Amino acid sequence: MSESSLGELVPVGGGDAIPLLSDVMTIGRRESCDICLKFQNISGSHCELALKEGVWHVRDLGSTNGVKVNGERTLKRPLRPGDEVSIADHKFTIQYELPAGSTIEDVFAEEEDMFGQSLLEKAGLARPPRQPRRR
């Protein structure tokens, strides 16, 4: 990994690593994408990689053939260093270093908490569950 790189995508099975040079990068078949992958099964704007608080996240941009992380289809999620990211059926591992003192588990716990409650519950406006009436 070069010093100016924020990480890299390494093709599974061999090939040149793709440096991640910006904190937000689009991946797709279009020439205007930051990372252009010229394969028919990759959408014009397939997905986005974004570096947030030192952790890379992947987000599907409505692609036809989807994004998988470690074999599991996803729309959006944080990535651990070494995770396998499949863009359509093209597999890469993401390599980067976490900032000192941070752990990926904190990011995953925050993501799970965010989706574990409704907005009403988070705001304290949800009604408590009703108890069944006794007869």
Residue range 9-27, pLDDT digits in tens = 999 999 999 999 999 999 9
CATH number of the domain encompassing residue 72:
2.60.200.20
Residue range 26-51, pLDDT digits in tens = 999 999 999 999 999 999 999 999 99
Q: How many domains does the chain have?
A: 1
Q: How far apart are CA 6 and CA 59, in angstroms?
A: 18
- Region 109-115: mean pLDDT is 57
Residue 74 within a domain: yes
Backbone angles phi, psi at 69, to 5 degrees: -120, 120
pLDDT value at residue 74: 96
Which structural domain range is residue 89 located in? 7-98
Q: Is the pTM of this model over 0.85?
A: no
Q: In which band, very low, low, confident or very high, does the pLDDT at 53 lie, cut at 50, 70 and 90?
A: confident
The residues facing 52 across adjacent strands are: 55
